[in-house]
Structure 1
Amino acid sequence: MRSPRLLSRGSWPEARRIADILRQETIGGALLLVAAVAALVWANSPWSDGYSTLRDTHVGIEALHLDLTVGHWAADGLLAIFFFVAGLELKREFVAGDLRDAGRAAVPIAAAVGGVAVPALLYVAINAIGDGALRGWAIPTATDIAFALAVLAVISSHLPAALRTFLLTLAVVDDLLAIVIIAVFYTQSLQILPLLAAIVPLGLFTLLVQRRVRSWWLLLPLAFLAWALVHASGVHATVAGVLLGFAVPVLRRTPGDGPGLAEHFEHRFRPISAGIAVPVFAFFAAGVTVGGLDGLVTALTDPIAVGVTVGLVAGKTIGITLTTWLVSRFTRASLDAGLAWIDVFGLAMLGGIGFTVSLLIGELAFGAGSGSDEHVKVGVLTGSLVAALLATLLLRIRNRVYRRMHEDDTRDDDRDGVPDVYQQPVPGHGV
């Protein structure tokens, strides 16, 4: 029989291998999809009562305002991990990434703003005409980083690298806007004392990480306390995750001192976010009982679901593409020379995959388990699926075009022995 020490030693390489797998974009997106499908199947099976019972079971301490259902723990607790990683990524991009250069980042930042504004306007217009609920205006504004990057990773064998950079920058800014929207528009009641008290653990956490302290027995209790106090204040608890992520320093203290602390934390927490937090949230958020064909038709014809679907599919595509064109046309900012406008159009479609944060905003707007929330889920799932399919169709065609260009260039190099200058398509002139 193996000793505990040997077993422990053998388990660490396996744990590291699993963590490395979970850091892959395609794996994270696949787990998200599996969780959502599993929830839909269970919620529409003869055993659907078991799903509802599990989701609505209360766990926690009522005196600490933490007597929450399992579904709320997933939305308020586990998603804080997702937003902590998002906060780390946001700060890294602003301090040392693409968002540091204002000129380079102007186009995708503007595209993100347009991709938030137009879906919201379309949702409001449809629900104002159809006598729907305007409170859900922000649901179709979010782009799901995990899903969008996973789809791009699957189909992008020859697409320009600039396409992924554009999508990543756009999605990061989109996350920042979603955080602001949640904090400002979906805080129902504000309790000042818990919010002020949250400054203490948040400040201590900031002080420790600024001194490059990595001791989890110090940092985790402070992070949990900050999260609990923000939750008690009425501000959505995921905002605490973002603030904790922003507190972590990005740059190394001295050159050659290893990775920055933000990069270190992101490396550690991304597998937990991608492999546990987001899939578990998706499992408890996506389980809508459709009620057969009649129920599906009823849900899809509700102005709320129509507004969400149209906002994700048409709003994101129009908002991102139009804003990108306007900024490139009327300012000094320009589209990356490696991208054609048809590529931007496909990327804009991809931005319509709005799963995780859209479902969260739907719960905040209408209340988890309500009839309107069920229709939100149908709209989000439908819109995200249609956007993913349309984007995949177009970008696969573009991928074949770039592959042929690469093969032709390689044959020319082999024939004359002199490398040709690879000409990327000129913006505005699709290949």
Structure 2
Amino acid sequence: MEAGGKMMGMQLSWIRNPQVSAMLLLAAAILGLVIANTGLGPGLDALKHAHLPFTVFGLDLSAAHWVTDGLLVVFFFVVAVELRYEFTQGDLNSVSKAAVPTIAALGGVALPAIIYFNVAGADGAQGWPIPTATDIAFALGVLALFGRRLPTTVRALLLALAVIDDLIGIFFIAVFFTESVSLPHLGLAAVGIVAFWMLGRIYRGKRGSWPLRIALLAVALITWWLVAMSGIHATIAGVLLGLVLSPAPAESARERLEPFTNGIVLPLFAFTSASVIIPQVPLSELSPVFWAIVIALPVGKLFGVTIAGLVGQAALRVPKPDRMKLSELIGIALLAGIGFTVALLMNELAHRSAEDLIVEGTLGVLAGSLISAVLGAVYIALLSRRYPAVDSTERTARDSEEYLRRTDSE
């Protein structure tokens, strides 16, 4: 059974490709934006705000919220599994390895937030976390498309930075975007997480057991419902479940869910979030929220990540041969300005009571991310020319080896 799953994973490896994932995200966002600004726009908007004629165990969500509060949980579960892997076996498995990307990520969070505060003003202050996010899939996709000659250390640092960045973003969602909490639901959700952890421990000795897989799925769904009912954003359930699940079932789940998240969940979320009507007003009349995000994402990330990365390497006395070059840090910092998925989610949460700010915030995220993607792609392409070409056979073999190493880690 496990061998069959692994074979299926290899067959679907094309959709795991960061280049494919990034292109699907971009295409879905463009399609959503275009349709929203045609004659189909009003119908699409009505569909997004439509509710089921009945509640689902007390949950009454719009179609758009079923995407952000339901499907997106699967993506955050996969991200959490990636986080756990990186902190235990990957590029962040020691304090020394995690220190530099952590410092760089903190710089890439602090400076965009400061810029946002100063540009947005008091009226839009609640949206300060929006430009602090980095989209893992999109950033790595651009790097894979235009930086194929760059050393693997560049990808490793970008991945580490984006992973830590997302962890900070998840913390922001849990702390700053929770209006009220139902302690009974939250307490039962904690019981569900413990039960999920225990089932994962049992799974280690009974790999391929379908009853256990069904039990894990049932407990996960119940825990998600309890978190949603508690008042905390439901995506936190995905994060917590992914962090507590034992490596064997976690990698098995990631292997099966990654094609689903890359091919359906993220494009559908990008389509839904980007399908906003562009205001028919001059640029000068757009709100400060729009400009705050457009400036904070590319500029804040560029200087925040670069300066913090240099300071971190110097403060930790990283040996010069092991230090990331300034030119490489700048490339990583430019790509870190691609906010997209998490930034769009935080925009909706921050401005949920102001529809007009959701629209302008969405446009700001799309514009700021596009600026960062274009600048990053051009810069990475030029930088990549300085390095010798990498044999495609060697790269494919290395990628396959990494995939098999992860799936065989247990």
Structure-2-length-normalised TM-score: 0.88
| 2:158–2:332 contact (8 Å) kept in structure 1 | yes
Q: In the aligned structure 1, how far is the partner of 2:173 from the partner of 2:342? A: 10
Q: Which residue matches 2:103?
A: 110
Deviations 1:13-67 (A, max 9, x none): 9965663221111111111111101100110001111111211111375363321
Which of 348, 371, 375 pairs up with 1:363?
348
Q: Which residue matches 1:79?
A: 72
Q: In the aligned structure 1, how far is the partner of 2:189 from the partner of 2:53? A: 20
Which of 215, 219, 223 pairs up with 2:216?
219
Which of 262, 265, 273 pairs up with 1:274?
262
Deviations 1:91-143 (A, max 9, x none): 11111112112112211111111111110111011122xx5410000000000
Letter in 1 for 2:327: I
Residue 46 and residue 298 in structure 1: after superposition, are their counterparts in 2 closer, same or farther (change >3 A)? farther
| 2:9–2:256 contact (8 Å) kept in structure 1 | no
Residue 335 and residue 262 in structure 1: after superposition, are their counterparts in 2 closer, same or farther (change >3 A)? farther
> What is the root-mean-square deviation in Å for CA atoms of aligned residues?
2.3
Q: In the aligned structure 2, how far is the partner of 1:284 from the partner of 1:368? A: 18
Residue 29 and residue 63 in structure 1: after superposition, are their counterparts in 2 closer, same or farther (change >3 A)? closer
Identity %: 38
Partner of 1:235, secondary structure, is: coil
Q: Which residue matches 1:410?
A: none
Q: In the aligned structure 1, how far is the partner of 2:90 from the partner of 2:53? A: 40
Letter in 2 for 1:238: T
Q: In the aligned structure 2, how far is the partner of 1:16 from the partner of 1:98? A: 23
Q: Which residue matches 1:140?
A: 131
Partner of 2:12, secondary structure, is: helix
| 2:9–2:255 contact (8 Å) kept in structure 1 | no
Q: Which residue matches 1:235?
A: 232
Deviations 1:179-235 (A, max 9, x none): 111001110111111111112222211111111265332111110110011001110
Letter in 1 for 2:179: Q
| 1:328–1:335 contact (8 Å) kept in structure 2 | no
Is 1:196 the counterpart of 2:187 in the alignment?
yes
Q: In the aligned structure 2, how far is the partner of 1:141 from the partner of 1:57? A: 31
Is 1:22 the counterpart of 2:15 in the alignment?
yes
Letter in 2 for 1:343: E
Q: In the aligned structure 2, how far is the partner of 1:171 from the partner of 1:52? A: 32
Q: CA deviation at 1:83?
A: 0.5
Q: Which has the higher contact order (CA 8 A, sep 6+)?
A: 2
Which consecutive segments of 4 or more residues in structure 1 shift more than 6 A?
A: 11-15
| 1:160–1:339 contact (8 Å) kept in structure 2 | no
Letter in 1 for 2:15: L
Q: In the aligned structure 2, how far is the partner of 1:43 from the partner of 1:403? A: 45
Residue 333 and residue 190 in structure 1: after superposition, are their counterparts in 2 closer, same or farther (change >3 A)? farther
Q: Which residue matches 1:149?
A: 140
Structure-1-length-normalised TM-score: 0.84
Partner of 2:191, secondary structure, is: helix
Q: Which residue matches 2:395?
A: none
Q: In the aligned structure 2, how far is the partner of 1:27 from the partner of 1:335? A: 35
Residue 334 and residue 12 in structure 1: after superposition, are their counterparts in 2 closer, same or farther (change >3 A)? closer
Residue 171 and residue 368 in structure 1: after superposition, are their counterparts in 2 closer, same or farther (change >3 A)? farther
Residue 342 and residue 13 in structure 1: after superposition, are their counterparts in 2 closer, same or farther (change >3 A)? closer
